[in-house]
């Protein structure tokens, strides 16, 4: 592998870091110019939940029954215990247990 080819991964990582930084700064700049009306505030408050749902549902759809059981266990643990890491561990444990039983 030549020296320029060896630098490609580093260049890619630096480019992605720069793009991430630019997007974040653009978000701060744009939101600094948006008036925080009650509607905008409600949208921003709902955003974390929508991101979580948009991330988890496609994974669960491909993961089968064990994934849905894991999500249900994690959601129940979160409601009861209000501890993120504990809910994550319990949901993951449920997926492992269900798959160990041979279910999809």
User: Quick one: three-class SS letters along 72-104?
Assistant: HHHHHHHHHHCCHHHHHHHHHHHHHHHHHCCCC
Mind listing the pLDDT tens digit for each residue in 35-66?
A: 989 998 998 888 888 888 888 888 888 888 99
Give this prediction's pTM: 0.56
d(CA 57, CA 34): 31
Q: Where are the domains of the chain?
A: 1-34, 47-104
d(CA 76, CA 88): 11
Task: Say what the pLDDT of residue 1 is.
Answer: 66
Mind listing the pLDDT tens digit for each residue in 74-101?
A: 999 999 998 889 999 999 999 999 999 9
CB atoms near residue 69 (< 10 Å): 19
């Amino acid at each position: 592998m030549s020296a320029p080819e060896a630098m490609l991964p580093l260049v890619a990582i630096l480019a992605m870091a720069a793009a991430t930084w630019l997007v974040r700064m653009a978000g701060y700049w744009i939101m600094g110019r948006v008036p925080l009306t009650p509607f905008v505030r409600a949208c921003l408050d709902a955003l974390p939940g929508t991101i979580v749902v948009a991330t988890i549902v496609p994974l669960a759809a491909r993961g089968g029954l064990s994934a849905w059981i894991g999500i249900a266990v994690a959601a129940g643990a979160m409601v009861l215990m209000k501890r993120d890491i504990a809910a994550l561990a319990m949901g993951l444990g449920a997926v492992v247990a269900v798959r160990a039983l041979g279910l999809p």
